[in-house]
Amino acid sequence: MNAMAFNKRFEILALLILVVNNVAAQKKDGLGASFIFGDSLVDAGNNNYLSTLSKANIPPNGIDFKASGGNPTGRYTNGRTIGDIVGEELGQPNYAVPFLAPNATGKAILYGVNYASGGGGILNATGRIFVNRIGLDIQVDYFSITRKEIDKLLGESKAKEYIMKKSIFSITVGANDFLNNYLLPVLSIGARISQSPDGFIDDMITHFRAQLTRLYELDARKFVIGNVGPIGCIPYQKTINQLNEDECVDLANKLALQYNARLKDLLAELNDNLPGATFVLANVFELVMELIKNYDKYGFTTASRACCGNGGQFAGIIPCGPTSSMCTDRYKHVFWDPYHPSEAANLILAKQLLDGDNRYISPINLRQLRDL
């Protein structure tokens, strides 16, 4: 081999090593912090520290959560939430710690913090049926405490850059504003007489705009916002309304779609008006509806019956707890309990949010958001 050919090969090899090292460095780099806001779909244990009627720190919740050895953690599912799975996939070494947990201090918060609370909503009155819960206003207040802590840990300029460039803010909220506020049997009839669906949704959007703007003012720049899923199709709604397996509650789904259309407009407005921010919309409604309609295609045997619960034909009235009946094939159920998806469903949902196209996540997916 002549010297020229040898040099050429050496250059190509050196280039390949450089590329491989770069890719490895990027992977190692991963996501800095995941800040998670919302309701029981993503609560990782905040409600354990509240006197509330909405709790999931009882078996068999968490039975498939490997990090706790199958013990309940306060997650409202059998395993990981969507927030857990997304964080793992984006290269986070640890799960975001619940804000109210005693270990949510020091360097642990640099991986992210989870502020979500079962029963919480956009509006402060939402979830009052549970006595205590953390609504989104208070969750943002809590983040402002974390924000000051990060300043102390990293110094102000590094902290600002870390929050702006290395952190993702995910917010999954809105379902409780309908289920545990506007649509509450008996308790909400007064509200429905005094406020039209349009007026109620207006209220939600006005509050949400203010909450997202506050996060932006605290240096949040990369946002993923989930819309409201098909709440009329959850086992609880099917059971109390005595529906057939393939039916859903029309009013609940109509309200969700009406809110979702307004949310899409709100995020477009914020993308235009808040410089440097990227608001990504996760189309949870379509994603979950796809699983419910075509459950067998994804390896599930039912999308209407809760794996863990009691009451009615879909085990949809009494939440999951030690006295509940539990299915043996947890990975074949779209729903873990009367309200929440199973880990198997969460894995499919998370995969679409991470790598999916505009039908489910737009304008970019979560891997692209991380790398912005």
Q: Which pLDDT band holds residue 157 (cuts at 50, 70, 90)?
A: very high
The CA–CA distances, whole Å, from 306 to 120, 174, 207, 229 equal 22, 22, 33, 17
Q: Are 243 and 252 in contact (CB under 8 A)?
A: no
Residue 27: pLDDT above 90?
Answer: no
Give yes or no: 40 in active site: yes
pLDDT class for 24, splitting at 50, 70, 90? very low
Residue 245 — pLDDT band, cuts 50, 70, 90? very high
Instruction: Express each pLDDT in 201-233 by its tens digit.
Output: 999 999 999 999 999 999 999 999 999 999 999
Q: Which of 43, 167, 177, 340 is catalytic?
A: 340
Average the pLDDT over 294-315 and give the result: 96
Neighbours of 64 (CB within 10 A): 17
pLDDT of residue 271: 98
Residue 125: strand, helix, or coil? coil
Q: Determine the Cα–Cα distance for residues 272 and 32; give it in Å rounded to an integer.
A: 26
Instruction: Please confirm, yes or no, whether 333 is among the known catalytic residues.
Output: no
At 31, is the pLDDT very low, low, confident or very high (cuts 50, 70, 90)? confident
Residue 34 has pLDDT above 90, yes or no: yes
Nearest residue to 176 (alpha-carbon basis) of 224, 137, 241, 128: 128
Alpha helices in the chain (DSSP H): 3-29, 82-89, 136-154, 156-165, 175-177, 189-194, 197-217, 235-240, 250-273, 284-293, 343-355, 366-370
Query: Taking residues 270-276, what's their average pLDDT?
Result: 98
Distance CA 283, CA 119 (A): 21
Is residue 20 pLDDT above 90, yes or no? no
| Cβ contacts of 194 within 8 Å, gap of 6 or more | none
pLDDT above 50: residue 256: yes
Q: Do the bridges between strand 308-309 and strand 325-326 make them parallel or antiparallel, or are there none, so unpaired?
A: antiparallel
188 with 135: CB under 8 angstroms? no
Q: Chain-centre distance of CA 216, in angstroms?
A: 19
pLDDT of residue 193: 62
d(CA 281, CA 160): 24
Sign of CA dihedral 205, 207, 211, 214: positive
Distance CA 63, CA 78 (A): 5
Catalytic choice (39, 43, 84, 337): 337
Fold of 31-371: Rossmann fold (3.40.50)
Q: What angle do CA 32, 350, 22 make, to 5 degrees?
A: 40
Identify the pLDDT of residue 131: 84
Does 144 score more than 80 pLDDT? yes
Q: In angstroms, rounded to a whole number, what is the distance separating the alpha carbons of residues 35 and 116?
A: 10
Return mean pLDDT, the chain: 91
Model pLDDT, residue 352: 97
Average pLDDT score over residue span 312-341: 95
Can you tell me the distance from the alpha carbon of 152 to that of 150, in angstroms, rounded to the nearest whole number? 5
Query: Is 265 annotated as catalytic?
Result: no
Instruction: Classify residue 195 by burial, with Cβ atoms within 10 Å: 0-12, 13-18, 19+.
Output: middle
Using alpha carbons, select from 183, 193, 189, 280 the residue that is nearest to residue 234: 183
Evaluate if residue 254 carries a pLDDT over 50: yes
Q: What size, in residues, is the chain?
A: 372
The pTM score is 0.91
Task: Sheet containing 167-172: give its strands across.
Answer: 97-98, 113-114, 33-38, 167-172, 222-226, 278-282, 361-362
Query: What's the rounded mean pLDDT across residues 150-161?
Result: 97
pLDDT above 70 covers what percent of the chain?
90
- Of 34, 39, 40, 207, catalytic: 40
Going by pLDDT thresholds of 50, 70 and 90, the confidence category of residue 130 is confident
Residue 121: CA count within 13 A, CB half-sphere = 23
User: Could you give the CA distance from residue 355 to residue 270 in angstroms, rounded to a whole number?
Assistant: 24
Q: Kindly tell me if the per-residue pLDDT of 181 is higher than 70.
A: yes
pLDDT the model gives residue 129: 83
- 184: pLDDT strictly greater than 90: no
**What would the mean pLDDT of 194-202 be, rounded to a whole number?**
89
Burial class (CB in 10 A: 0-12, 13-18, 19+), 351: middle
pLDDT bucket at 53, cuts 50 / 70 / 90: confident
Which DSSP state fits 59?
T
Confidence of residue 32 (pLDDT cuts 50, 70, 90): confident
